[in-house]
Chain A
Amino acid sequence: MTAHDPVLPSRPNAGGTTYVYDQFDAAFVRERVAEFREQVERRLAGALTEDEFRPFRLMNGLYLQLHAYMLRIAIPYGTLTARQLRQLAYIADQWDQGYGHFTTRQNLQYNWPKLVDVPDILDALADVDMHAIQTSGNCIRNITADHFAGVAADEIEDPRPTAEFLRQWSSAHSEFSFLPRKFKFAVTGAEHDRAAIMVHDIGLRIVKSPAGEIGYQVAVGGGLGRSPFICKVVREFLPRADLLAYLEAIMRTYNRFGRRDNKFKARIKILVHERGLDEIREAVEAEFAAMDRAPFAYDTQEFVRIAAFFAPPSYAKLPARSASLETAKLENRDFADFVSVNVAEHKIDGYAIVTVSLKPIGGIPGDAASHQMRVLADLAEKFGLGELRVSHAQNIILPHVKKDDLFALWRALDTAGLATANAGLVSDIISCPGLDYCSLATARSIPIAQAISRRFADLERQRRIGELGVKISGCVNACGHHHVGAIGILGLEKKGAESYQITLGGDPTFEASIGELLGPGVSAEQVPEVIEHIVEFYLAERQGDERFIDTWRRIGHQRFKELAWREGEDGSDI
């Protein structure tokens, strides 16, 4: 077994920097698939009732939705190889309806699988080192990370080895598979939080101690849903060697004391809120101190083994400035706009990070057809070292593109209808599936996103407006992260009809804040108009190149409310 020598790891997956299963990982996933195949058979035969089966199917990512089952695939830390994306396209064609939906948690959802086909789908995923394990259920969910991991210029350390380390530790955990409620981790290693870690159950931020040692700032108790909370820091600096033991102490504290009498009060955020951070910290630290640490003795070496898979790919030596890129920008306005909006700085000279928007004007946010997945896989191989990322904003990232290749890439994306230059702009809307698919929904969210997107179709106007996060959820569960949208929209039912509440001022970054309510709900038809009023007001009020959120913070929520009130006076029911 030289493949697992911690000093000289092999890199069989040379087409992309991501973790590659060894024989144990592969066997583990196959055993899970076989186990689920049995569970499906026992369910159909009645050995398991639906109530008993439900947690097990959820732990394998399978929901029963409005029209059909829905299978949620994990894309751990948002990293995909071209080969994996091709397989996702194959599954969409073979067992589903030829498309998939990228979610806000680095997962992919198929909306139409049959229960009896799911074990085969899981086997097809295992063929490419993928699974649907723990993408749902009251357990530790898919571990998410900064989608610019490993390539961002502002990074202390790539968060993906940590996320992979945690993925393994949390998989089929004997003690923590029946928690009071779901449990979500996010990790970032950068100065800017692109992974919304502060609204997770545990947000890990890789930090450096004054002595230069790498460790973690551990924050706990964030989450959206019915009662949104921002994480609180429970430990300012946790040495890496203590990571798993400390997390186990948190999980045990939560498993024992988290509320189980009310599903809406069962998340760790409520435990932290009700008991107070100090009491929780005390309990966690006491448990941590009491633990037998011997089982964790080799964690550091294991971390090193995992980290080796994420070693930087072999980049070409290039000048920072690409002459051909500059020329192409001068010659083609649309391309220049695309570069200014969808292309970010790479930490290596001569390379760039490209966001491929899955938000065409009037489209369904996050949906990708199988043929588009194949185009993206091909382009990743041709221009991006075979690697892709999935962002929580429901877009695809090509993380390593030579600046010299940007124009050719853009042409190819444009041909495939994938070159919408709106990353981070008002039409780059985050939206959950809402009542078009989701059985928990109280209203639709996709048509609202489509209407807003059409209303702001003019990209030049969007660029004038600048960075503006619109986020839509179809119920209080808040999968569309509406609480942390600069403009948040929540779909509810009011007197038998769909009604939408609008909030302003949400922010998912380290400066996290929860949006404040603008006023009573409005109808679906009114939403785009209200949003337009808000945006126009912001444009009139902003100073210099202030972002929407900055203007809102400066002039205050009240001014926006007053605006809404004034509008309401001349007839519209805001």
Chain B
Amino acid sequence: MAGLERPQILLASDLAHGDVVFLGASGWERDCHRAKIVYDSDAAAALQAFGQAEIAKNHVVDVYLADVAVDASGAPEPLHYREKIRALGPSVRRDLGKQAWLRRSGDAM
């Protein structure tokens, strides 16, 4: 079991709605902070395999792993600016996307 250079999470797009979703402890989550973090290649492969099965069931599309940093509270933060934007929403419209929804539901931000 090889350790990963960086911890990873699995993300995808919901097929019917198009929303970005993150694989959590018990299914897909809309909030990146609830994503399950993996630290070794076997666990990462298991996430990938689950993602492929979910594609086959027509639940999600465009599944991939992304590198994250783990913050003090144990929540994952994507490292690349692309996934950062996906986790929040357009940087030029803070009133739209996940960032707005997270603010409304009092989580994070």
Contacts and interface: CB of A to CB of B under 8 A. Distances in A.
**Complex: A in contact with B (CB within 8 Å):** yes
Interface of A: 43-46, 50, 64-69, 97, 111-116, 364, 435-437, 441, 444, 446-447, 450, 496-498
Interface stretch (B39-47, B54-62, B69-77): B54-62
Interface of B: 13, 15-20, 55, 57-58, 61-62, 80-82, 85-86, 89-93, 96-98
B15 A44 contact: yes
Contact of A436 (B17, B18, B58, B90): B90
B31 to A, nearest CB: 14
Closest 7 CB pairs of A and B: A69-B18, A436-B90, A68-B18, A446-B92, A114-B17, A46-B58, A50-B61
A503 B13 CA distance: 35
Contact of A435 (B17, B58, B81): B81
B91 A64 contact: no
Nearest to A69: B18
Contacts of B89: 67
A65 B14 CA distance: 11
A369 to B, nearest CB: 11
A71 to B, nearest CB: 10
Contact of A68 (B19, B58, B81, B93): B19
Given A67-B90, A444-B91, A116 B13 contact: no
A477 to B, nearest CB: 16
B18 A97 contact: no
B80 A44 contact: no
Given A67-B97, A497-B81, A116 B86 contact: no
Contact of B80 (A45, A112, A496): A496
A239 B13 CA distance: 50
A515 to B, nearest CB: 25
B13 to A, nearest CB: 6
A364 B15 contact: no
Contacts of A68: 17-19
A69 B15 CA distance: 9
A496 B86 CA distance: 16
Nearest to B58: A46
Contacts of B91: 436, 444, 447
Contacts of B82: 66, 435, 441
Which residue, B80, B90, B91, B96, has most C-beta atoms of chain A within 10 A? B90
A497 B90 CA distance: 17
Contacts of A116: 16-17
Nearest to B61: A50
Contact of A64 (B13, B57, B58, B98): B13
Nearest to B97: A67
B15 A115 contact: yes
A112 B93 CA distance: 13
Contacts of A437: 90
Contacts of A69: 18
A44 B19 contact: no
Nearest to A437: B90
Contacts of A44: 15-16, 58
B79 to A, nearest CB: 8
Contact of B20 (A67, A364, A441, A498): A67
